[in-house]
RNA sequence: GCCGCUAUCGUCUAAUGGUUAGGACACCACGCUUUCAAUGUGGGAAUCCGGGUUCGAUUCCCGGUAGCGGUACCA
């Protein structure tokens, strides 16, 4: 590779809410592509639709990216040589180029009302014609235009699509040829003075020296318009790579409307997904290197990523697979680190169930292999935080056993605990097993009651893990409580 | 309707002009286990359809079908 020019790519979200997982994947691919080639990654805010603007979006978008571990070189928050990186602060620029296009007759003024356009579209649709602007205003004379302009009439500026075909090469999909007859005379400058995506995007990508436009597949049909614009402005177009869509279970593009909160990165953060897991999962949604490796660090992804191995077909966002990745990453975490991450969830349990979230490291270790999300402790750790297990003789003694046997198991376990000096699972298992053997009770007769006494749940970690996590004092106290239940 | 993109197990995908079409998730069974996990072993499961090119096509070409996307003074 003899790249004389630095690779520059961008992620250009609109401020309409949270970071979308599809957007996150687009950002990730851009980031990986840039980092792999020592290039630069830029964030640009495309806030040209005043109506859809949601205050606070930018911060949330950026913090979402940061959480994922994606960093950028230039952007709205940190500036850069091509600042500003917010389109609403660049309106003069777009207007200037729109007028330049008017002057070169590559664009024209349009004074048509929204009503007329709607009506036109409706008519075309009912007669099964492709809906397109009818170039009504193209027939206006220079005088007519001047008159309307000086009268202060609302206008837009439209691209005058030339005849012929437009051809371009997509890095992922190869050559794409579009008949210009199928391209509408796109509005470039809206009547409110803001540019449309098409104009702003092309102008900024050019001015910001973007070399590769890596974006979602939904932009593929627009790419030809953009090529036309680059040509009309006399600029060389960047390379394009249109990524396959991220789909929901129904194979439709993942969207806020259809999929709700499941599209926001923030949701996954709140539920206790690890950023490394989400990144790994997202990276493999539409891309895969040669071979069978599944687990990748961000650095490994950077080393291996290439656009040529990006898939063409859309990929379903499979939550089960994400869950598996998340569990894999949770298992890899040092227990102390996991314990730290779990504290907010533990505090919540304390608030609802009573017992303080103290000495939770052993608990965390016991839970580690069982968690698919951090938030899952809310159901898997309740036994630790409950003050009252609500035990009854019925649950303490297995059907085939007898209360006397249960009492024996509980008493013997309780008595042995104070003698144990080496408080670890292996030793607890050795000691408890020895006591159990001595008692002459079967596994079920002995272990089930003890486990119930400690956890109060039919499904829980094993006796030794419970003891280890609860600690000697709490264990004895719980065994005592269980014995009292049987004595009644 | 019109335009475009796409098509390998249910899902994410690997591979190839000749393979028993590989892996992972999910699923099922078994092992380990007092229960739940984790873990080990095994299993079922795919080249959309029809033509062509070729000795041979899942792979290349064409057509169909289906899915998705676009068709805004939204991005």
For chain A, what is the total number of helices (H) and then of strands (E)? 22, 11
Tell me: do A252 and A340 sit in the same domain: no
Q: Span A434-454, mean pLDDT? A: 95
Last residue of a domain, one of A199, A226, A243: A243
Q: What is the pLDDT of residue A400?
A: 84
The encoded tokens of residue A341 equal: 């991450």
Mean of pLDDT over chain A: 95
Whether A128 and A216 share a structural domain = yes
Over 50: is that where the pLDDT of A3 sits? no
Residue numbers 129-168 of A with CB closer than 7 A to any atom of strand B: 129-133, 154, 156
- On whether both A105 and A153 belong to a single domain, the answer is yes
Through-space separation of residue A117 CA and nucleotide B40 C1' in angstroms: 67
In the predicted structure, residue A488 carries a pLDDT above the cut 80: no
Same domain, yes or no: A69 and A101: no
Dihedral angle sign, alpha carbons of residues A254, A255, A259, A263:
positive
Task: Write the CATH number for A482.
Answer: 1.10.10.350
Look at residue A297 and tell me whether its pLDDT is greater than 60: yes
In DSSP notation, A435-475 reads: HHHHHT--HHHHHHHHHHHHH--SS-S-HHHHHHHH-HHHH
Residues A417 and A68: their CA atoms lie apart, in Å, by: 45
The C-alpha atoms of residue A135 and residue A466 are separated, in whole angstroms, by 77
Sheet of strand A187-189: strand arrangement: A107-110, A156-159, A187-189
Provide the 3-class DSSP secondary structure of residue A123. helix
Query: Residue A169: enclosing H or E segment and its boundaries?
Result: strand A165-170
At A166, which CATH number?
A: 3.40.50.620
**Domain-embedded: residue A373:** yes
Nearest nt to the CA of A222 via C1' is B70
Q: Is residue A322 part of a domain?
A: no
Q: Verify that A175 and A102 share a domain, yes or no.
A: yes
Report whether A322 contacts A49 (CB < 8 A).
no
> Are A431 and A308 within one domain?
no
Determine whether A256 is an active site residue: yes
Q: Which of A 32-51 have CB under 7 A of nucleic chain B?
A: 46, 48-49
Taking alpha carbons only, the member of A294, A200, A231, A213 closest to residue A42 is A213
Same domain? For A45 and A122 the reply is no
Q: Is the residue at A328 inside a domain?
A: no
Number of domains forming the structure of chain A: 4
For A256, other C-beta atoms within 10 Å of its C-beta total 14
Could you check: is the Cβ of residue A222 within 7 Å of any atom of nucleic acid strand B? yes
A249-276: pLDDT as tens digits = 999 999 998 999 999 999 999 999 999 9
Residue A92, both tokens: 């003069």
| Distance set, CA A82 to CA A27, A65, A467 (Å) | 19, 21, 61
Q: Which nucleotide is nearest to A194 (CA to C1')?
A: B73
Q: Is residue A2 part of a domain?
A: no
Q: Flag residues 279-308 of A with CB < 7 Å from strand B.
A: 284-288, 290-292, 294
Q: Measuring CA to CA, which residue among A412, A255, A411, A275 is closest to residue A333?
A: A275
CB A48 within 8 A of CB A200: yes
For the residues A17-24, what does the mean pLDDT come to? 96
Q: Is the CB of A52 under 7 A from strand B?
A: yes
Sign of the CA dihedral with A409 first, then A412, A418, and A422 last: negative
Spatial CB neighbours of A441, under 8 Å, sequence gap ≥ 6: A405, A408, A409
Contact by Cβ (8 Å): A22, A256: no
pLDDT band at A1 (very low <50, low <70, confident <90, very high): very low
In a domain, A290, yes or no: yes
Pick the catalytic residue: A95, A256, A332, A407? A256
A442 CA, B37 C1': separation in Å? Answer: 23
Bases on strand B under 7 Å from any protein CB: 1-8, 10-15, 22-26, 33-39, 67-75
| Residue A109 host element (H or E) | strand A107-110
> Does residue A31 form part of some domain?
yes
Closest nt by CA–C1' to A132: B71
- Region A72-84: what's the mean pLDDT? 97
Q: Please check whether residue A212 is in contact with residue A239, taking contact to mean a CB–CB distance below 8 angstroms.
A: yes
Over residues A10-27, mean pLDDT: 96
DSSP secondary structure letter of residue A419 = G
Domain that holds residue A362: 333-385
**Cα angle value A62/A208/A77 (rounded, 5°):** 25
Is A321 within a domain?
Answer: no
The string of pLDDT tens digits covering residues A404-425 is: 999 999 999 999 999 999 999 9
Question: In this model, does residue A129 exceed pLDDT 90?
Answer: no
The whole-number average pLDDT for the span A375-398 is: 94
- CA–C1' A310–B14 (A): 13
Per the structure, the residues numbered 377 to 436 in protein chain A that have their CB within 7 angstroms of any atom of strand B are: none
Domain boundary among A206, A226, A243: A243
Provide, in whole angstroms, the distance separating residue A281's CA from nucleotide B12's C1': 9
Percent of chain A surpassing pLDDT 90 = 93
Residues A71 and A145 placed together within one structural domain of the fold: no
Collect all residues with Cβ–Cβ distance below 8 Å to A25 and sequence separation of at least 6. Answer: A243, A246, A282, A283, A285, A286
Distance CA A111, CA A144 (A): 11
Tell me whether residue A95 is in a domain.
Answer: yes
User: Cβ of A3: how many Cβ atoms within 10 Å?
Assistant: 10
In angstroms, the CA of A311 and the C1' of B51 are apart by 27
ipTM: 0.95
Q: How confident is the model at residue A2 (pLDDT cuts 50, 70, 90)?
A: very low
| Cβ of A473 less than 7 A from strand B | no
Rounded to 5 degrees, φ, ψ at A213 are: -100, 105
Reported confidence tier of residue A209, pLDDT bands at 50, 70, 90: very high
Q: What is the spatial distance between Cα A76 and Cα A83, in angstroms, rounded to a whole number?
A: 8
Taking the CB of residue A484, how many other CB atoms lie within 10 A of it?
A: 10
Q: Is the CB of A332 under 7 A from strand B?
A: no
Q: What is the mean pLDDT of residues A170-188?
A: 94
Domain closes at, from A316, A343, A365 = A316
Question: Which nucleotide minimizes the distance between its C1' and the CA of A443?
Answer: B34
Å from A314 (CA) to B60 (C1')?
A: 23
Examine the domain organization and report whether A182 and A38 are in the same domain.
no
Examine the domain organization and report whether A174 and A251 are in the same domain. no
The closest nt to A182, taking CA to C1', is B3
Same domain, A226 and A342: no
Q: Are A208 and A264 within one domain?
A: no
Closest nucleotide (CA of A51 to C1')?
A: B74
Average pLDDT estimate for A358-364? 96
Sign of the alpha-carbon dihedral angle for A334, A340, A345, A347: positive
Closest by Cα among A347, A342, A387, A389 to A367: A342
To which residue do tokens 């709205």 refer? A76
pLDDT at A131: 87
Q: pLDDT-based confidence at A161, cuts 50/70/90?
A: very high
3-state DSSP assignment of residue A104: coil
Instruction: Measure, in angstroms, how far nucleotide B44 C1' is from residue A313 CA.
Output: 27
What percentage of chain A has pLDDT greater than the value 70? 99
């Amino acid at each position: 590779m003899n790249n004389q020019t630095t690779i520059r790519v961008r992620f250009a979200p609109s401020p309409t809410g949270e970071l979308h997982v599809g957007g996150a994947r687009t950002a990730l691919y851009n980031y990986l592509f840039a980092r792999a080639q020592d290039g630069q990654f830029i964030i640009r805010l495309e806030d040209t639709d005043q109506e859809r603007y949601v205050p606070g979006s930018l911060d949330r978008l950026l913090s979402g990216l940061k959480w994922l571990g994606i960093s950028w070189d230039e952007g709205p928050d940190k500036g850069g040589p091509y600042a500003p990186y917010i389109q609403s602060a660049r309106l003069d620029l777009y207007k200037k180029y729109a007028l330049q296009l008017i002057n070169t007759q590559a664009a024209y003024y349009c004074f048509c009302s929204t009503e007329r356009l709607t009506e036109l579209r409706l008519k075309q649709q009912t007669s099964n014609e492709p809906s397109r602007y009818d170039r009504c205003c193209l027939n206006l004379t220079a005088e007519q235009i001047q008159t309307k302009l000086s009268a202060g009439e609302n206008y837009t500026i439209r691209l005058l699509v030339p005849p012929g075909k437009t051809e371009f090469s997509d890095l992922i999909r190869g050559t794409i040829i579009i008949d210009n007859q199928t391209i509408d005379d796109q509005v470039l400058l809206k009547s409110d003075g803001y540019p449309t995506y098409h104009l702003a995007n092309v102008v900024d990508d050019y001015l910001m020296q973007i070399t590769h436009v890596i974006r979602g597949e939904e932009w593929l049909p627009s790419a030809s318009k953009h090529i036309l614009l680059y040509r009309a402005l006399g600029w060389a177009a960047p390379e394009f790579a249109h990524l396959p869509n991220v789909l929901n279970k129904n194979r439709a593009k993942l969207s806020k409307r259809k999929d709700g909160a499941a599209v926001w990165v923030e949701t996954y953060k709140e539920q206790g997904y690890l950023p490394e897991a989400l990144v790994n999962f997202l990276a493999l949604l539409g891309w895969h290197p040669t071979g069978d490796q599944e687990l990748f660090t961000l650095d490994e992804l950077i080393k291996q990523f290439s656009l040529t191995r990006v898939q063409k077909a859309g990929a379903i966002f499979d939550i089960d697979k994400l869950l598996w990745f998340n569990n894999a990453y949770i298992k890899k975490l040092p227990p102390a680190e996991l314990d730290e991450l779990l504290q907010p969830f533990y505090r919540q349990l304390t608030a609802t169930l009573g017992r303080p979230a103290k000495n939770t490291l052993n608990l965390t270790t016991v839970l580690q292999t069982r968690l698919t999300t951090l938030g899952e402790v809310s159901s898997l750790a309740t036994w630790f935080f409950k003050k009252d297990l609500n035990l009854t003789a019925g649950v303490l003694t297995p059907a085939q056993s007898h209360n006397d046997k249960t009492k024996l198991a509980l008493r013997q376990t309780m008595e042995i605990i104070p003698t144990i000096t080496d408080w670890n699972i292996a030793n607890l298992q050795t000691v408890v097993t020895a006591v159990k053997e001595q008692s002459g009770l079967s596994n079920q007769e002995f272990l089930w009651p003890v486990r119930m006494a400690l956890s109060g749940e039919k499904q829980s970690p094993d006796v030794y893990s419970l003891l280890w996590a609860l600690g000697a004092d709490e264990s004895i106290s719980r065994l005592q409580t269980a014995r009292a239940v049987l004595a009644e």
